[in-house]
Structure 1
């Protein structure tokens, strides 16, 4: 919790992350703004009819913007997934859950699950920004298709597919749409 609080404090007020209301280092209590639409995974699964192409495009762009904010602050999230993105009352997406993240090169204590983990990820290596970028691509796939990449495939088979550069067909086209809309990274 201490690392998570330090990250929220380092980022300050930012549209891409939940607002920090209070951190009590004695009780390890972190209080964040309430985001009434919950996490992206549950929202997508419960409200698929509300996910218009325009809203999906907005969410994908906001996910990329949030990751850019983290990376510019030398933070590697290390656990990109739909459960770690929250939605506010206007359906704006905010990245959260930094407890396992890497701050300025620190060791991470979390890692992404199979469908969001870079195929060349090595457990003993320090985290890399590319790991988060790969997770972002899988997140965009989820936003656009409402399914995890290879959702019906066992995890070990997903690892084998990723390891041989076999990715879901539509993921590349969705990522291309996103990156054409948000521009190049500075």
Structure 2
């Protein structure tokens, strides 16, 4: 067992060092480095996932665990596809994924039944400063203008790279921008993203996509273009500059 765990640590270490591409990571590895998804390792939570800090050999990663109600496999696969394509200093570094189904005994109508519990997880580099949203409001007042400019420039560079790769993020906001120890921003959370074909400039969706206050008005009609991200970028820049959340715009 120790030999297997050491072998899995070696794999993750090689990916972190850039000697191997992101790959399918065993569920047992992700459980081991997060202390079986302990609350003590929890660093973030949203409506669709929880994020845990994973630690091994004095190194750290972030593990995003999707909630176990019916998984949208199409969205999960899209997110992996976008992440595998994205390699830039201002995009959060993707390390691997896990798609596993575990048998679990449950009581239903007074009887014991065996149910399949789906596990879908993503693994990323760990970024010490957390999300940009933590540094907007009072904390933002302590940021020098030079630092704010650096953060804005980094976000713009990351988004420019995504659009060159025909990736539309669709949920750009301070909560989805992470900061490293040097306050270098990295765009994260590609759960709603779209990867366009080479000659594609728009897409029509029947669902409302994005976060109220950050999504572009045209998304109400279901029209998805790269301009949607530019609108979200503008709101984010405004928040960085004024040091507080702007919440009057709704999509």
TM-score, normalisation: structure 1? 0.72
Cα deviation, 1:150-169, whole Å, max 9, x if unaligned, reads x4x4xxxx34xx9xxxxxxx
Q: Which has the higher helix share?
A: 1
More divergent stretch after superposition (115-124 vs 90-99): 115-124
Cα deviation, 1:134-181, whole Å, max 9, x if unaligned, reads 1111110011111233x4x4xxxx34xx9xxxxxxxxxxxxxxxxxxx
Q: 1:74 to 1:110 in 2, by over 3 A?
A: farther
Runs of 5+ consecutive residues of structure 1 not aligned to the other structure: 163-186
Residue in structure 1 matching 2:94, options 2, 14, 20: 20
Cα deviation, 1:6-28, whole Å, max 9, x if unaligned, reads 111111x3201111122224442
Cα deviation, 1:4-61, whole Å, max 9, x if unaligned, reads 12111111x3201111122224442210000111111112236224311001111111
Size of the aligned set, in residue pairs, is 152
Structure having the higher Rg: 2
Q: 1:110 to 1:101 in 2, by over 3 A?
A: farther
Q: Which has the higher strand share?
A: 2
Moved over 6 A (4+): 106-110
Q: Greater RCO between the two (CA within 8 Å, min separation 6)?
A: 1
Q: 1:110 to 1:5 in 2, by over 3 A?
A: farther
Supply the RMSD in Å over aligned alpha carbons.
2.3
| Aligned counterpart, 1:172 | none
Residue in structure 2 matching 1:122, options 209, 220, 225: 220
Q: 1:124 to 1:48 in 2, by over 3 A?
A: closer
For 1:137 and 1:84, how far apart are their aligned partners in 2? 15
TM-score, normalisation: structure 2? 0.55
| Aligned counterpart, 2:235 | 138
> What is the Cα deviation at residue 107 of structure 1?
6.6
